């Protein structure tokens, strides 16, 4: 029959059964491998995710360490603050939620969106993304009132830094503020929304003050609502620290510098501990703790007095006649100065075609070292500078700690500038000129120092020659960095001249006299610009402010085994005696109070 299949066509495929068996085996193997992969290789990860869907973890913020003054007064504390977080996994409509948050709190909608955009990749979906660090009670109440209808929003209780004395310690303590992207990337201990020290000791001591966060685990339901807390690892609070700074003395110098720009340093000459350290003007560090507004920031940054500038570490000044104390030491050390030998001062000294004038136009007559320091004779030191030359002056200045940072525990400290031949050639492409030795000798020209460096040198003159690191912490041990190259006799000569500068009727530091204490000092009036003859003819108060001289007074006080170095520099303060002298006097009166008559009888 033609419709019937041939016997050969009725036979099943020769390898069909085998192929079917192989296919089944292959499918089985695939399922087996997938099962192994999911159960064994990825099992722990899936278990973790499943657990995470049931358990939530949140950080418990560690209280930041407290900061006290040497008398125990609290300078930096913590107070409760309320942050607003958004858990993305629980939030059904992020855009609508941000709209609602902006309406309730008054926070800028665009800023909220920016915070969300930047933060979403840095926190897990089930962790709160901080939208605002510091809500007021009114805003907290608004969020709490609507929170049930807007899943994902959380009010988080954190701590906010509080500076008890506002602006009094701002340049010493610095402040804390929200960590930026760079800080987050470089510190595994930080999370989005964390605060870190930005300036001052808050920055330098960040790891000691911050503490270690704790963790709290709690169960949540399918909507993210907390059901029960199951585990808590408490945080470790940051370390408390006590400063060497005396609160009353700091308040006193702050008041004495009101309306002025400058620096005050009061240092224990034997330990290096800093009892007062002020950069004026100041600002209220509390403005930064909760996030400074654009208006506040603009007001501070545009202030012509630059309150944000820490003049203690970020500024260096021409020292003027204060540098004569260094020159005297250099002349003695190099054996190129006979203390009793006199130099005639006619009121000026000519070098080539240039006339270098003394501040006293009529001259000082014959002066020796002591009188040259007491009356601050420029001609005496012009001649000494010519004898010594730039190489000796520079080397001695470096050996006394000038031209490099002191190492105080504050960030961004400048070292000032001590010029050398090489420095001038490299900086200006010019050779050192002989006349520049004369400017160098009276603390003008290219010389820049910091009040901290001057305070260390003054302390070394009265403590046996030890150049100490300025210490801000009360617990810090004295740290001798080096010994200035002056023997006891040479130091005593300079010290005695400083005392005479206070005690003698012709001395320029008579304002610093303090009954009952041995006080020595040296004034400095540092030019900041070359005045025209027309400006020189004006009264001091009529000279444009920015062209007025800086006023210095650097001194020490001793009584009953206590020794302190006190340095005051007032920008554009005109004269050392009148501009800085009253502040030095106020410090001496505090350090060495007079016993009332009849007391103790």
**Residue 6 banded pLDDT, cuts 50, 70, 90:** low
Percentage of the residues of the chain whose pLDDT score is greater than 90: 57
pLDDT above 90: residue 495: yes
Q: Tell me which of 92-96, 126-130, 485-489, 595-599 is least confident.
A: 595-599
Element (H, E) at 194: none
pLDDT at position 48 is: 63
- 236: nearest Cα among 253, 263, 215: 215
Q: Which residues of 202-220 are buried (b: 16+ CB within 10 A; e: fewer)?
A: bbbbbeebbbebeebebeb
**Vertex 280 angle, CA 277 and 286, to 5°:** 85
Q: Please give the Cα distance from 164 to 239 (Å, whole number).
A: 18
Query: Which residues are known catalytic residues?
Result: 321
pLDDT at position 534 is: 77
Average pLDDT, integer, range 410-428: 96
Say which residue the tokens 């303060």 belong to: 573
Residue, of 134 and 502, whose pLDDT is higher: 502
Q: Tell me which of 97-101, 178-182, 594-598 is least confident.
A: 594-598
pLDDT above 50: residue 15: yes
Q: Which residues of 93-126 are buried (b: 16+ CB within 10 A; e: fewer)?
A: eeeebbebbbebbebeeeebbebbeebeeebeeb
pLDDT at position 543 is: 84
Average pLDDT, integer, range 368-392: 95
- 450, 316 Cβ separation under 8 angstroms: yes
pLDDT at position 329 is: 97
pLDDT above 70: residue 434: yes
Q: Please give the Cα distance from 467 to 401 (Å, whole number).
A: 7
Q: Tell me which of 56-70, 308-322, 485-499 is least confident.
A: 56-70
**Residue 47 banded pLDDT, cuts 50, 70, 90:** low
Say which residue the tokens 């695939």 belong to: 30
Average pLDDT, integer, range 343-370: 92
pLDDT at position 272 is: 97
pLDDT above 60: residue 560: yes
Residue, of 149 and 170, whose pLDDT is higher: 170
- 131, 116 Cβ separation under 8 angstroms: yes
pLDDT above 60: residue 427: yes
pLDDT above 60: residue 600: no
Is the N-terminal amide bond of 281 cis, ω within 30° of 0? yes
Average pLDDT, integer, range 560-582: 93
pLDDT digits (tens, 9 = 90+) for 199-236: 999 999 999 999 998 888 877 766 666 677 778 889 99
pLDDT at position 598 is: 56
- 326, 458 Cβ separation under 8 angstroms: no
pLDDT above 50: residue 554: yes
pLDDT above 60: residue 4: no
pTM of structure: 0.84
pLDDT above 90: residue 34: no
pLDDT at position 601 is: 42
**Chain mean pLDDT for the chain:** 88
Q: Please give the Cα distance from 56 to 171 (Å, whole number).
A: 41
pLDDT at position 89 is: 78
- 149, 167 Cβ separation under 8 angstroms: no
**Residue 3 banded pLDDT, cuts 50, 70, 90:** very low
pLDDT digits (tens, 9 = 90+) for 270-323: 999 999 999 999 999 998 877 777 888 999 999 999 999 999 999 999 999 999
Q: Tell me which of 291-305, 468-482, 552-566 is least confident.
A: 291-305
Q: CB atoms < 10 A from the CB of 198, how many? A: 19
**Residue 51 banded pLDDT, cuts 50, 70, 90:** low
**Residue 2 banded pLDDT, cuts 50, 70, 90:** very low
**Residue 376 banded pLDDT, cuts 50, 70, 90:** very high
Residue 387 has which token pair?
């004898």
pLDDT at position 229 is: 76
């Amino acid at each position: 029959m033609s419709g019937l299949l041939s016997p050969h066509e009725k036979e099943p495929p020769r390898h069909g059964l085998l192929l079917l068996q192989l296919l089944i085996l292959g499918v089985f193997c695939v399922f087996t491998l997938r099962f192994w992969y999911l159960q064994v290789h990825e099992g722990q990860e899936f278990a973790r995710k499943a657990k995470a869907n049931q358990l939530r973890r949140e950080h418990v913020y560690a209280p930041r360490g407290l900061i006290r003054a040497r008398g125990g007064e609290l300078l930096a504390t913590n107070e409760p603050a309320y942050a607003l977080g958004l858990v993305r996994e629980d939030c059904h409509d992020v855009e609508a939620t941000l709209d609602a948050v902006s309406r309730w709190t008054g926070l800028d909608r665009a800023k909220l969106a920016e915070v969300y955009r930047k933060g979403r990749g840095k926190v897990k979906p089930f962790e709160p993304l901080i939208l605002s660090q510091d809500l007021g009670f009114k805003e907290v109440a608004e969020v709490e009132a609507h929170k049930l209808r807007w899943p994902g929003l959380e009010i988080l209780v954190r701590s906010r830094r509080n500076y008890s004395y506002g602006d009094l310690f701002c340049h010493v303590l610095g402040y804390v503020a929200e960590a930026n992207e760079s800080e987050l990337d470089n510190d595994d201990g930080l999370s989005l929304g964390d605060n870190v020290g930005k300036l001052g000791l808050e920055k330098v001591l960040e790891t000691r003050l911050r503490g270690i966060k704790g963790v709290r685990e709690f169960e949540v339901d399918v909507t993210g609502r907390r059901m029960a807390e199951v585990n808590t690892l408490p945080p470790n609070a940051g370390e408390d620290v006590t400063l060497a700074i005396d609160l009353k003395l700091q308040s006193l110098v702050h008041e004495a510098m009101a309306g002025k720009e400058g620096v005050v340093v009061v240092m224990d000459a034997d330990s290096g501990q800093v009892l007062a350290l002020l950069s004026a003007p100041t600002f209220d560090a509390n403005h930064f703790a909760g996030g400074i507004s654009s208006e506040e920031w603009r007001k501070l940054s545009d202030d012509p007095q630059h309150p944000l500038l820490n003049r203690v570490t970020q500024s260096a000044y021409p020292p003027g006649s204060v540098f004569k104390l260094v020159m005297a030491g250099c002349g003695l050390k190099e054996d190129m100065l006979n203390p009793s030998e006199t130099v005639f001062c006619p009121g000026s000294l000519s070098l080539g075609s240039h006339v270098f004038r003394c501040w006293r136009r009529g001259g000082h007559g014959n002066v020796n070292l002591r009188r040259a320091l007491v009356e601050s004779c420029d001609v005496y030191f012009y001649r000494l500078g010519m004898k010594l030359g730039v190489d000796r002056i520079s080397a001695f200045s470096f050996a006394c700690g000038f031209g490099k940072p002191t190492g105080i525990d504050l960030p961004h400290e400048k070292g000032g500038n001590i010029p050398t031949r090489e420095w001038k050639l490299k900086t200006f492409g010019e050779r050192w000129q002989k006349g520049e030795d004369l400017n160098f000798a009276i603390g003008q020209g290219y010389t820049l120092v910091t009040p901290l460096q001057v305070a260390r040198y003054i302390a070394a003159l009265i403590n046996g020659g030890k150049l100490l690191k300025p210490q801000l912490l009360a617990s810090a041990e004295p740290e001798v960095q080096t010994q200035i190259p002056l023997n006891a006799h040479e130091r005593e000569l300079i010290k005695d001249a400083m005392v005479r500068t206070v005690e003698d009727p012709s001395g320029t530091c008579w304002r610093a006299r303090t009954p009952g204490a041995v006080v020595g000092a040296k004034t400095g009036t540092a030019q900041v610009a070359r005045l025209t003859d027309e400006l020189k003819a004006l009264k001091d108060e009529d000279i444009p402010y920015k062209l007025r001289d800086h006023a210095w007074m650097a001194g020490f006080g001793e009584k009953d085994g206590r020794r302190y170095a006190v340095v005051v520099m007032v920008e554009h303060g005109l004269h050392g005696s009148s501009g800085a002298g009253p502040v030095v006097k106020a410090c001496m009166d505090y350090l060495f109070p007079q016993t009332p008559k009849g007391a103790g009888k």
